[in-house]
Amino acid sequence: MKEKNQVREHWGGSLGFILAAAGSAIGLGNLWKFPYVTGQNGGGAFILVYLLAVLVIGFPVMVCEIAIGRNAQSDPITAFQKLCPKKTGSTHMTGVLLLLAACGLFCFGKFGMSGLFFLIALVIFWYGWAAVGILSVVTPFFILSFYGTVGGWTIAYFFKGLFQQLNFTDPDSAKQVFDTFVATPSHGIFFQLLFTLTTGSVIWFGIKNGIELASKFLMPVLLIFILILIMRSVTLPGANAGISYLLTPDFSQITPHVFLSALGQAFFSLSLGMGAIMTYGSYLDSEKNILSSSLFIIVADTFFALLAGLAIFPAVMAMGMEPSAGPGLVFQVMPATFNSIGDHLGWLWSSIFFFLIFIAALTSAISIAEGCVTCLIDHFKFRRKTAVFWTILLVSVSGIFCTLSVTNWDRLPFLQRGLVWAFGSTNASLFDLMDQFSSNYMLPLGGLGTSLFVGWQWGMRYALTELRKGGSDVTDVNFFALLAGLKDDPLSKGTHSLTLALILGILIRFISPICVILVFLYNIGWLSLK
Ligand code: PHE
């Protein structure tokens, strides 16, 4: 399996990296989750808080991930090992605390959680800080499983649209069609495998000829399609209500819960916390500017989430439908909305809409799988094709369980009984558990580990040296001079002024970890905010 003298592949150019990373960020998180989470959390108010989370936490963590990846020029596990070869006191202490917690949980009969804590403690003792990198091998199995299920639905719904099988105009018939579809396992599994195999076929060809080429072709298609849909949506009579719903913040809706949802959504949407962006950063060479690339990626991702809102809400409101319809918004309300327009082109709008989501999901799935593949290649010395084969095979198997569990647990009673025995009663399906567990626990934990590592272990000084490599001195100019367009004014430079470097350091060392810890405590139910 070992490949000798492997040369690490690099992106052909900045554009390739930026498009691939934007492709990773723009996905189901923007098109499927963002609209309904916005709908559930009060429209414009949620968007404001989301923007704050992206800027204050998303941006610094993304910069950290790219800096680690590029500096180490290797997969996430090896990267942490290279930057901190020894196990440290802090990792030993974390391991011991987790072991104690595992014992406590065992005594209270929480065998599943106890086993999980025990396992994590062992990984930390064994790998030290590189345990954060291990997440890039484990998290893909959680995210890609439900991602493959939803990705498969988008392919199926694209064809259903084309063959005029989505010509209902009320959400109730839409719900019936959707429920019948997901209750037929053979269909769900077929399309899920098609989606996963398509993902595998792109990464099979490596960075330049696979991921970069696909991103350069697919990302413009994505933009064109969403613009077409927005034009249709905002020109409907009554569309204004949707636009003002999206843009008018109602501050009474901003509760602590909205803050926490916004933070979780920002991590998921920006692809942070599982080494995907770190992996893409490791294929970047040192002339490229990390800060401007990160800024572009977060702006593109946020802009796209807003575009998705602009394609969806005006049409939904114009047709008198309910915007906060939950996860079914995309698969039920949208086809019904498109058919109600009355221009007899509902099938076309639906097909474009689902094709669009398919492309967005595909470019994200590619990055999730690549995180795992690169670990198998660099750390475990697999060949690329062998690594792709095993990743896709295992993800397909776990994905099949997810697809089977969507409607209820009836088809997987043994799995449900096992989970209930280990973790206590659960009503959520495996599909929901995978989604919640990865977004609420694994990604925030990965993000926390990354910012703590850069801020307190590797050190801001080294991270900054990496950021300065791209020929950029923006980190060291007075921040306000930068905003005022006085970057090159000699009098605006100064060692004691507020520079971007100082702001980034504070965000990375204090603000990001504290916010993520709060979210984490909230997610595990130890912090209740009313
Ligand atoms: N960012 C992707 C989306 O918005 C999901 C994702 C999460 C991709 C984590 C990679 C890593 O759908």
- Asked if residue 315 has pLDDT above 70, the reply is yes
pLDDT computed for residue 184 by the predictor? 86
How far is ligand 1, taken at its centre, from the CA of residue 364, in Å? 6
pLDDT computed for residue 330 by the predictor? 86
Positive or negative CA dihedral for 215, 217, 220, 226? negative
pLDDT tens per residue, range 66-119: 999 999 999 999 999 999 988 889 999 999 999 999 999 899 888 888 898 899
User: Is 364 near ligand 1, meaning CB less than 6 Å away?
Assistant: yes
DSSP-based three-state secondary structure for 499: strand
Q: Where are the domains of the chain?
A: 14-84+129-523
User: Is 25 near ligand 1, meaning CB less than 6 Å away?
Assistant: yes
Neighbours of 418 (CB within 10 A): 12
DSSP conformation class of 457: I
Q: With respect to CATH, is domain 14-84+129-523 assigned 1.20.1740?
A: yes
**In one letter, which amino acid is 128?**
G
Q: Which two tokens stand for residue 265?
A: 């959504």
Q: Who wins on pLDDT, 43 or 12?
A: 12
Q: Which two tokens stand for residue 504?
A: 């980034």
- Asked if residue 517 has pLDDT above 60, the reply is yes
pLDDT computed for residue 2 by the predictor? 45
- Asked if residue 529 has pLDDT above 80, the reply is no
Burial class, 292, CB count within 10 angstroms (exposed 0-12 / middle 13-18 / buried 19+): middle
Of 146, 195, 219, 368, best ligand 1 pocket probe by most atoms within 8 Å of the beta carbon: 368
Name the percent of the chain in helix, strand, coil, to the closest 5.
Answer: 75, 0, 20
CA distance 128 to 446: 14
CA distance 429 to 185: 15
Which range, of 361-370, 452-461, 475-484, averages the lowest pLDDT?
A: 475-484
Of 364, 434, 445, best ligand 1 pocket probe by most atoms within 8 Å of the beta carbon: 364
